[in-house]
């Protein structure tokens, strides 16, 4: 093991010269201790100890303080360059050291084909993995958490170094060969096939409905009605006594008229006739009264059973329902404008899975049930919304249940015969009141499977 304890630039050169021959023959781990040493001298001494060829331009300047133990010579050279905020670029068997601001002369375009990952996400990862040039000093002095103009300029320059070629699904990176090597290692780590998760959802509605109709409901036919008539003959037997006082039986064909009407169903039918039709028969209209005393019960029913597959970390959305037009009114400069905005109504399920190393599935789940209710007094819709948010951890194939999404709706409607339905006491025979109350509970069963 080599030991270098440098207090000034002169000691760097002396110790480096004494230990150069041994280092070149056997590049073993090094131990370096430098206090306020010239960075050029430390780089030259470290390169000689490791047996490396090094080239530096006049931009390499500054002082460093470091203490390294049991490090390989190449790693020590990189650490010294990093401490001086310098760019170290390997070209064959030699190293070129220059200031980061002069790295354009060593930079070039490097293309990385993308196989599985999202190129835009890889681009963001590459931008985060490289330091923002010329920004270390300003970052240490900026304590208010706001980005300075230099930081924004450095961030913009770094973003311009990475671009996505969508036609070939590739990343184009502009930088040095050393930076391209670092970028390639990062891309190889992230560009792997993502696991897929298949989600099966069962939406079940448990309804307990009670609909009650009490009263007398009157129904009327359209005006005018002209029934079909058909003339037929029937044989009529009669007993006749002749002049001699003997009786015998005779058959006489008697004409009859059959009338075919479109009668009202399930009602006590009545007929009102008026006027004369083309065949001399009167026009008719029908009315009927139905006494209501009905009660209906509901049961559970399957509303939907969708299946969807998504990549881990990406959101899957299941929307069961439709859009409801909602008018919105805006006023600008004394001008009122009414526009139509469509809002989602029904069942909305959002599922974001993540497959863990042990095979479990951690999922973020959002369920929402919204139903529109028209308010006649406002001439607009009111939305009843029920939602639930949770994060769960399940085994592959295990089912989770979301329940308790309970809603209750009650409505009342009145139908009556004009004028007659408004009469006191007797008006009850000419009107019908319908009261409906619906209690429903929505249950959602979710089963996820990891696809190989």
Q: E strands, 356-430, where?
A: 361-375, 380-394, 399-416
Kindly report which listed range (25-29, 227-231, 259-263) carries the lowest average pLDDT score: 25-29
Kindly report which listed range (133-142, 315-324, 359-368) carries the lowest average pLDDT score: 133-142
- What integer is the mean pLDDT of 113-139? 74
Whether the Cβ atoms of residue 162 and residue 270 lie closer than 8 Å to each other = no
Buried b (16+ CB within 10 A) or exposed e, 242-252: eeeeeeeeeee
Q: What is the pLDDT of residues 10-63, one digit of tens each?
A: 344 334 333 333 333 345 788 888 888 888 888 888 888 888 888 888 888 888
Among 275-289, 305-319, 376-390, top mean pLDDT goes to 305-319
Task: Name the percent of the chain lying above pLDDT 70.
Answer: 73
Is the pLDDT at 434 greater than 70, yes or no? yes
Total Cβ atoms within 10 A of residue 126: 23
Kindly report which listed range (113-117, 243-247, 385-389) carries the lowest average pLDDT score: 243-247
For the chain, report the end-to-end CA distance as a whole number of angstroms.
50
Query: Burial, 446: exposed, middle or buried (Cβ in 10 Å; 0-12, 13-18, 19+)?
Result: buried
Rounded Cα–Cα distance for residues 364 and 278 (Å): 75
- What integer is the mean pLDDT of 313-331? 83
Joined together, the tokens standing for residue 437 give: 């109350």
- What integer is the mean pLDDT of 404-423? 73
Is the pLDDT at 65 greater than 50, yes or no? yes
Q: What is the pLDDT of residue 363?
A: 92
Kindly report which listed range (48-62, 208-222, 248-262, 306-320) carries the lowest average pLDDT score: 208-222
Q: Which residue has the higher pLDDT, 313 or 321?
A: 313
DSSP state of 252: E
Kindly report which listed range (210-224, 359-373, 409-423) carries the lowest average pLDDT score: 210-224
pLDDT class of 417 with cuts at 50, 70, 90: confident
pLDDT class of 362 with cuts at 50, 70, 90: very high
Q: What is the pLDDT of residues 130-177, one digit of tens each?
A: 765 444 444 444 545 555 555 555 555 566 788 999 999 999 998 877
Rounded Cα–Cα distance for residues 81 and 97 (Å): 8
Reply yes or no on domain 30-103 having CATH 3.55.50.30.
yes
Among 66-70, 110-114, 220-224, top mean pLDDT goes to 110-114
* Class of domain 107-131+156-193 (CATH, top level): alpha beta
Q: Where in the chain is the domain with CATH 3.55.50.30?
A: 30-103
pLDDT class of 3 with cuts at 50, 70, 90: very low
Joined together, the tokens standing for residue 164 give: 């996505």
Q: What is the pLDDT of residue 19?
A: 37
pLDDT class of 310 with cuts at 50, 70, 90: very high
Q: Where in the chain is the domain with CATH 3.30.1370.120?
A: 107-131+156-193
Q: What are phi and psi of 138, to 5 degrees?
A: -65, -30
Q: What is the pLDDT of residue 187?
A: 92
Whether the Cβ atoms of residue 100 and residue 84 lie closer than 8 Å to each other = no
Q: Under 8 Å CB-to-CB from 57, ≥6 apart: which residues?
A: 97, 98, 99, 102
Q: What is the pLDDT of residue 6?
A: 44
Q: E strands, 196-282, where?
A: 196-220, 228-241, 247-260, 268-274
SS3 for 77? helix
Rounded Cα–Cα distance for residues 435 and 296 (Å): 12
**Mean pLDDT for all residues in the chain:** 75
Residue written as tokens 């996820």? Answer: 448
Q: How far is CA 189 from the centre of its chain?
A: 28
Whether the Cβ atoms of residue 221 and residue 264 lie closer than 8 Å to each other = yes
């Amino acid at each position: 093991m080599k030991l270098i304890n440098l207090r000034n630039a002169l000691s760097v050169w002396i110790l480096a010269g004494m230990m150069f021959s041994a280092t070149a023959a056997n590049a073993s781990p090094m131990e370096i201790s430098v206090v306020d040493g010239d960075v050029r001298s430390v780089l030259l001494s470290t390169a000689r100890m490791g047996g490396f060829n090094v080239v530096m331009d006049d931009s390499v300047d500054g002082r460093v303080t470091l203490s390294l133990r049991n490090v390989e010579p190449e790693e020590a050279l990189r650490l010294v360059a990093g401490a001086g905020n310098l760019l170290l670029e390997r070209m064959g068997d030699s190293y070129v050291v220059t200031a980061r601001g002069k790295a354009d002369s060593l930079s070039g375009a490097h293309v990385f084909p993308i196989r599985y990952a999202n190129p835009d996400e890889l681009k963001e990862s590459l931008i985060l993995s490289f330091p923002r040039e010329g920004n270390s000093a300003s970052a240490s002095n900026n304590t208010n958490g706001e980005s300075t103009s230099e930081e924004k300029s450095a961030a913009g320059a770094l973003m311009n170094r990475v671009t996505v070629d969508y036609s070939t699904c590739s990343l184009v990176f502009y930088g040095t060969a050393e930076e391209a090597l670092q970028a390639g290692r990062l891309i190889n780590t992230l560009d792997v096939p993502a696991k897929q998760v298949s989600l099966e959802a069962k939406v079940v509605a448990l309804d307990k409905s009670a609909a009650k109709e009490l009263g007398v409901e009157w129904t009327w036919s359209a005006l005018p009605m002209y029934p079909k008539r058909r003339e037929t003959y029937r044989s009529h037997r009669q007993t006749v006594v002749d002049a001699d006082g003997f009786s015998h039986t005779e058959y006489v064909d008697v004409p009859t008229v059959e009338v075919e009407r479109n009668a009202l169903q399930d009602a006590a039918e009545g007929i009102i006739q008026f006027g004369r039709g083309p065949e001399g028969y009167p026009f008719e209209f029908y009315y009927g009264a139905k006494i209501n005393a009905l009660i209906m019960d509901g049961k559970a029913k399957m509303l939907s059973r969708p299946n969807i597959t998504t990549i881990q970390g990406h959101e899957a959305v299941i929307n069961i329902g439709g859009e409801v037009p909602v008018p919105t009114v805006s006023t600008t400069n004394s001008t009122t404008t009414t526009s139509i905005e469509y809002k989602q109504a029904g069942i909305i399920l959002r599922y974001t899975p993540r497959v863990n190393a042990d095979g479990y599935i951690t999922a973020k789940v959002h369920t929402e049930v919204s139903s529109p209710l028209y308010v006649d007094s406002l001439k607009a819709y009111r939305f009843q919304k029920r939602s639930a948010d949770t994060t769960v951890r399940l085994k592959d194939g295990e089912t989770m249940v979301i329940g308790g999404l309970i809603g209750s709706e009650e409505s009342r409607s009145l139908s009556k015969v004009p004028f007659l339905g408004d009469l006191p006491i007797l008006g009850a025979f000419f009107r019908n009141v319908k009261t409906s109350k619906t209690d429903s509970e929505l249950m959602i069963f979710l089963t996820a499977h990891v696809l190989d």
